[in-house]
Amino acid sequence: MLEVKNVSKAFPVKDGKLHAVRDVSFRVAQGEIYGIIGLSGAGKSTLLRCINALERPDTGEILFDGDNLLTMKEEALLQKRKEIGMIFQGFHLLMQKNALQNVLLPSRFHHADKNMAMEKALEMLELVGLSERKDAYPANLSGGQKQRLAIARALVMSPRLLLSDEATSALDPQTTEQILRLLKKIVQTYGLSIVMITHQMEVAKEICDTVAVMENGTIIEQGPVHDMFLRPKKKRTREMILGLSEEESEPSPTNGRTVYRLGFEQYTATSPVISRAVRQFDVDINILAGNIHQLKEEQIGMLYVEIWGDTAQVDKTLAYLTENGISWEVSA
């Protein structure tokens, strides 16, 4: 339903140009939650604003159901924008309007029929669990309630695509959880698609079907969430999965020992496999780093280990791991 093709955007700065987004391409299917994760300054927000043409890319195409938003006439673009809702980290609510009035804003803007707009607004407030607070002003709502209100407003025109820019970044973990559950429910109920920008791996793994990792304006890796957690190809992706900051690196070989990266889909089966391998093949295994992630439907683990001992025995150990469903790669 959405196809972003070779989109680039640069901003003029003092000494030249800042390439915020460079040649980014991806597709989002109907009902898909597509996550884009990246560090601050990676270009995520710029890319998201390009999707609904709030920001005009320098080059590229934004195809929405096959129509290029960037070459459309203003009137047609306005119509298309109805089908694209947006939510933000800072909620962007109007403080002098109450909850219901905030939800009604898009209908006013698009001159929708008043009765139908009211009906839809009340339905959306119900959906996000804020019916009782419809007369409350944003100042009197909690962060989670403000975001739910913003979601109700984003959905009031029945969009087919929702763009989310760090919608949960300002919220505590429990509230984040609530909002993610709400977004999942919305996708299930209305079959819309979400492009979800986040710097939180937690968010990506919990809700996304597909994840892209963005760095310095480009998507360095993208794929189904399962593959990204099990066999991340890029160092930066692995470091994000390990929860490392920008300054930290994944374990690298020391003492001339080889570091192996193990991936498993069923963590529970792993520890006996490793201890058995140690006993059976008389090798030493030293665990350097790792973690287990609960994805939408499964657990996936990644472990960095050194394995040393007799070369033939190390080879047998690796074969044993493979036989037991643990994938491994030499970590450079």
Ligand X SMILES: Nc1ncnc2c1ncn2[C@@H]1O[C@H](COP(=O)(O)OP(=O)(O)OP(=O)(O)O)[C@@H](O)[C@H]1O
| Contacting positions for ligand X (CB under 6 A) | 11, 18, 20, 38, 40-46, 199
Nearer CB in complex with ligand X: 16/256: 16
- Counted residue by residue, the chain has a size of 332
- Residues 13 and 53: beta-carbon distance below 8 Å: no
Instruction: Return d(Cα 255, Cα 306) in angstroms, integer.
Output: 10
Residue 303: contacted member of ligand X, Mg ion, none (CB under 5 to 8 Å, by partner type):
none
Token pair 């490793």: residue:
274
Nearer CB in complex with ligand X: 57/301: 57
Distance in Å, CB of 39 to Mg ion, minimum: 10
The 8-class DSSP code of residue 142 comes to -
Secondary structure E strands in 29-159: 33-38, 59-64, 67-68, 84-88
Find the helix or strand (DSSP H, E) in which 13 lies: strand 2-13
Show the site string, 229-248: x = touches Mg ion by CB under 5 A, - = not.
Answer: --------------------
Distance in Å, CB of 45 to Mg ion, minimum: 3
Instruction: Return d(Cα 5, Cα 27) in angstroms, integer.
Output: 8
Residue 40: contacted member of ligand X, Mg ion, none (CB under 5 to 8 Å, by partner type):
ligand X
Instruction: Return d(Cα 104, Cα 111) in angstroms, integer.
Output: 11
Residue 307: contacted member of ligand X, Mg ion, none (CB under 5 to 8 Å, by partner type):
none
Nearer CB in complex with ligand X: 40/311: 40
Distance in Å, CB of 42 to ligand X, minimum: 4
When binding is defined by CB under 5 A, the residue of 45, 198, 237, 317 that contacts Mg ion is: 45
Sort 46 into a burial class: Cβ within 10 Å, 0-12 / 13-18 / 19+.
buried
Tell me the chain's radius of gyration from C-alpha atoms: 23
Residue 18: contacted member of ligand X, Mg ion, none (CB under 5 to 8 Å, by partner type):
ligand X
Nearer CB in complex with Mg ion: 42/121: 42
Nearer CB in complex with ligand X: 24/93: 24
Would you tell me which residues interact with Mg ion (CB under 5 A)? 45
